[in-house]
Structures are given as C-alpha cells and as structure tokens.
Structure 1
C-alpha cells in the first residue's frame, strides 16, 4: 500500500511540475491526465481530492501568480503581453479576472501593488501544494563549507512581512539602476528576526547584492525603515549549507530542519551571525519548481 501511495503521489507531483514548466501551453484535462497516466474521466476528481482545488482553478492561480510577479517585479513586458502569457485572449478579460482576485487593475498593481490581498489570493495555491510537496531533508543534504567573506550592498526591511513586497520592488529597481544584474552579482537574504515575531513590526530582513564596488548615492541606514542602501559584509567562515530546489519563497521548513534536527545531532555550534541564503535562480525567471536557493547556517 505504501509503495502504491508513493507511486500515486509521484504521478501527481509530475503533474504539478508539468504545470509549472508549461504555463504557456495547453493545460487541459486531456493533456494533464496523460502526464499523470490517469483516465481523463476520473482525473479531475482525483486532482481535486488530492489538492482541494479543481485542475482549472489550480492552473488559473499558477498563471496568475506568474503574471503578478511579472507585473510587480519585471517591467520588460507590457500588460498586454502579460495577459497573453497568463492564458487570456484579450487584455480586458485578464483585467477583470485580475481585479476580481486582487482588487486592482493590472496597471494599478504594477504601479503600486496591494500586498495584503495579493498574499491572501494565493493561500489556496500554497495550501494545495503543501498537501503533497513536503520535502524531507536528511543529514546527507547538508554540507559544511568554508565560505569566503562577501561584500554586499544591503537594503533593510523593518516592519510587517506584508510590506516586504514593496521593499523587494525598491531593491530590484535600485540594483537595476546600479547595474548590479543577478547574473553577475549574487543575491542574498539575511533573516534578522524570527519568521513570525510576536509583533509584526519586529520582523526584520536584509536584501543584499554582492558587490566590490562603491555604491553610488547610497544613504547610510542604521536599520530603520526599508528602501535606503548601505554597504556591509557577510562574514566568512564555516557554514552548514542546505540547498532548496523549488518554491523557494518559503524556506522556513528547510531552516526548521537545520535548527531542530541537523544542528543538535551534528555536535556543531551556531556562530553569532544570522541564518542567510543565496538565491541562485529566481521565479519568474525560471519555473517555480526550478528556483534554487542555498541556505547557510554559520558555524563556530
């Protein structure tokens, strides 16, 4: 029974990966049931029973998530092009669906996203994935590396997590203007607080880009607010490194594994520097299941 269940889940996982990889293609019942090797007459019920969403709703949400990321964080595509990539035949149909889901038109969202409705809109998608996509880490997944010190430009976010999207937008705009492209200048995230502090106002995270050059027109920021840039360092030393592949917008399970299971069993001691990650590939530049991040736990 366990082997049969694993095989069933693997087939469903294959469908989710196919959807992520082929958002621009035909994702109807015939195509997806063939990917899963299930009967098309039962597949839609099997999918809904497994994930709590219909196939059509899941695909809609996955396409809308990519569209919203492109609107918020990428400005190379027009709203019309984003609408076509989201599977809509006309921009006005996309605009209606977008407004219904986020309470803003696509153009208004691009100018100033409303992040709280945005976060709430994708709750069903995240819940659906969590029913099946539960990565189990083992000690073999963790390597210990000697890491060189890294000079970085830092944009701090201080305050409720719901406002992080706005800080990310400012960070992307700043690094683009500074000519610090992700392909040549690595991207880091440093967590300065608990993921869910008692007061949301205490949430603290640094967005960083590796650079050896001076930061032109940077304002020194002692840690308050978000949007100013300062220079700093990620110190070198020994680190436990755990690679996360796919859906790297939520690294909490990987961090929990490092702290709760790997560290106590390893005999190692954590160093006095926060957990951080290097983002090696980012959604929507790659499909969500191909995004990659290395999580670093500094060690003594």
Structure 2
C-alpha cells in the first residue's frame, strides 16, 4: 500500500478500534481517512478483502468474547448495550456468526483455540494488503465528457438485481431507447462484496440525447421509478474488458480491485468524489428479455471508469 493510503486507513482503523461502542458512520470514516465517501467502502474491501461491516462485527465479537470469558455473570443485554448492538438478539446472532459459538455456550465453556483462530484475519490484515495480484490490466487516462442518464436505482439485496434490470429493460423498450442507439451505464456506489445486503447500491442507466430528454415528462419518470442523473466531465482511469473477463462477474470484480489496490497505489493519484462507473457494450434489440438481463449483468465488452482528479 502506498504511504498515503496506508496512513489514511491507519487513521480510520484506529478510530474504529476506539469507537466500537458507537454505530459505524461511513461519512465520518471517509472524512478521517481524507478519502472520497463514494469510494471508501469499495476501496476498503479491495485493500483488505473484508467489508467494513464484517470487520467491525469481528472486532465487536472478539471484545465481547473477552467479557464473556472472564465475566461469567455479565448479562448479554449489558454487553449488547456496551458494544452498541441494536439489541440483545442482534448481539447473539452476530457473536455466533463471528465466533462460531453462541454467547451462552462461550460463557459456560469457551473454546479458546477457536477464539484465537478467529483473530487470524486481524493478524494477517496488513500482510494480505501488501500482496500483489498476479493479474494486471492496461489502464488508460481518458477525459470523459459529461453525460446525462435516466437511471433506475437498486438499493438492497444483490440477488434481486435481475428484477430491477428487467423493469429497466421494459422501461427502455416503452420509450424507444434502443440499446443500439443509447449507451448503457452502471454506477457502483458499493459492490456486492463491500456492503451488507441491505446497503448494496447500484444505478442501472441509459444515456439520453437532448431531444430525448425534452420528450420525457417528469411525471412519467417519477411513476416509472426513473431518475435523471449526470456523470460529470473529468479525468478517469479506464480499463477495457472483453471476452471472458467481461462476461464473468469475477472478471469485473478483479479489474475493480486492481484499480483500487494496485494502480491507485502505484500512481498515487487522487480520487474524485463520484462513484466508479461502467459503460456496457451494445445489446441487440432482438434478444429476449432474459438474454438482455444477462447481457446487462455481464456483457461481452465493458469500459470501467474510475474518476480521478
């Protein structure tokens, strides 16, 4: 990790360690790290291979294990309140998931061997970060022209994304926004790996020409759950994927990780506060709805844009 990013995340991690009894505030963490909030979660995951939520959950569970192991009479409700769990049941579920033993079982007969094994991800935290990927990509610096989009937002479980895509395809068809004549974009506010299911966010969008924009009525947009957004003009680091790399979600994820973990470190550039976005290849009008949904989820050619200063 570059010295700049190393220091940035050291500040954020130190804050997390010292404030386990408070709800996680992503805006606060991004400000402490002096990194754009729109990239913080994805950058954290790319560097550490663990989401912020999972990291905090593990830290809390390890702290709770100490309280349970050495305080046989400590009520679960007291621990839940001390470590800012939503309630006692939330604490029980989180602890069991992280430690592999229920709080009651751990309090009665703690499996210390398993407990210390659970700390390994934290011990190897920095080691894993410094490992370099074998895969490398050709990265171009491009100037992206401002683009107006009509987008449908997906906020929630990633497994429900195909349903959002299907609704968006139908809206495009109704308004004559052929994939042959309009560009398809995805705006990644988080990734399926970096965010909890309920917090996953992505926009499915289509470019709009000026004449198309004027013909779309605001009421029709609102009733269709469509919003108008813009990608601002500016410099971007771009990776072009094609073939198998573009078809598989793992190919897209690996390229995004490379931009955040490898390229960003090597070039020591600053990120703009606009999320990473993807431009997808042309989708044939004659494809079935199912084929189009699959194509939008992983088309044969992708352009990945990371906004930089």
After TM superposition, the score normalised by the length of structure 2 is: 0.47
Which protein is richer in helix relative to its size? 2
Q: Which structure's relative contact order is higher, taking Cα pairs within 8 Å and 6+ residues apart?
A: 2
The structure having more radius of gyration, on CA atoms, is 2
After TM superposition, the score normalised by the length of structure 1 is: 0.49
